[in-house]
Amino acid sequence: MLSEQQAALYIQNLISIAILIDAAEILFMRRQYSLQGIYSYQIVRSSHKWVLSGVTGNLFGFIFSYPRFIYLILFQALAAVMVLSQAFGGLTLILLIALIFFIKLSANMRHQTGLDGADQMQVIVLAGLVGFYLFDDQRIQTISLIFISAQSILSYLVSGVAKLLSKEWRSGEAIKGIMNTVGYGNKKLAKVFTSSKSTSKLACWSVIIVESFFPFFILINIDFTFIFLIVVGLMHLSIAIVMHLNNFFWSFISTYPAVIYLSYLVHQN
C-alpha cells in the first residue's frame, strides 16, 4: 500500500524537477523577455485591458517587467531545489510549495500564449500539494491526492476522445502532419510515417486507445496499473524527446503516484 505521505513525497519531487526544467528554459532565453524580445511584457499586456492601467496594471507591470520576472523565476527555481533536497518540512515546506504554485500561476498569466497541457498540469499538481500539506487531516489529504489523480485521468480521457472523434487521427494523417511541422516535427519520422500509411495509422490508434481507455486500464488491478503507467510514461518520454517538449514528461508522470494511490484505494475496497 502506498501511503498518503509517500505519494505526496514522490509527487513533490517529480513536479519540482518539472519546475526546474521550466525555469532553465526561461533563463536560457531570458533576453526574449526584455523590451526588445518576443516575450516583452509591453506586447503581452496589450492583449488585456485590465493590465494596461490602474492598480492591477501597475502591480503586474512591476512584477512581470524585465528583469524582475527573471528574478521571480530564479526564486522559484531555488524553492524547487529546496523542496527536492527534502531538508525542509512542516510550515517551511508548505510555504515553499505555495510559493512555487503562485509563481507558476503568475508565469502562466505572464506568458498568455505558448502554454500547453504540461503548464496546466503543473498548476493542478501544485494546487493539490498545497491542499495536501496545508491541512493535517487524512481525509483532506486523501481528497487532495484523488483530485490530482482525477485531473490526470480526465486529461487523458478528454484527449483520447477528442482524437477518436478526429478524422485525421483515425486515418493516421495527424501524426504525419505533426512530424512535418517545424516546431514539433522530426524529419526522419516524418519520412517513415509518410511512406507507410499502416505505420502512421498504428501510431495514431495506439495513442487513441491508451488515452481513451486510461481510466479503465488502471482499474483492472494494482499490478496492471504499474505496468500500464510504465508503458504510458515511456510513451510520454518518446514524445517529449521527438517533439522537444522538455517538461512534458515530468509534468504528467508527477501525477502517477496519485493515480497509483487511487488504484490502491479502489482495489482495497
What is the tens place of the pLDDT at every residue in 38-53?
Answer: 777 776 666 666 565 6
pLDDT at position 244 is 81
Residues counted in the chain: 269
User: Considering just the CA atoms, what is the radius of gyration of the chain in Å?
Assistant: 20
The 10s digit of each residue's pLDDT in 214-254 is 988 888 888 889 899 999 999 889 888 888 888 889 999 99
pLDDT at position 136 is 86
Q: Higher model confidence: residue 14 or residue 243?
A: 14
pLDDT at position 158 is 94
Domain boundaries, the chain: 4-268
Q: What percent of the chain has pLDDT over 70?
A: 93
Buried b (16+ CB within 10 A) or exposed e, 140-179: ebbbbbebbbbbbbebbbebbeebeeeeebeebbbbbebb
pLDDT at position 162 is 95
pLDDT at position 33 is 82
pLDDT at position 258 is 96
pLDDT at position 18 is 96
pLDDT at position 78 is 97
Are the C-beta atoms of 23 and 17 separated by less than 8 Å? no
pLDDT at position 111 is 76
Measured CA distances, 183 to 114, 169, 178, 186 (Å):
12, 19, 9, 9
Does the pLDDT value for residue 140 go beyond 90? yes
Confidence category of residue 60, pLDDT binned at 50, 70, 90: confident
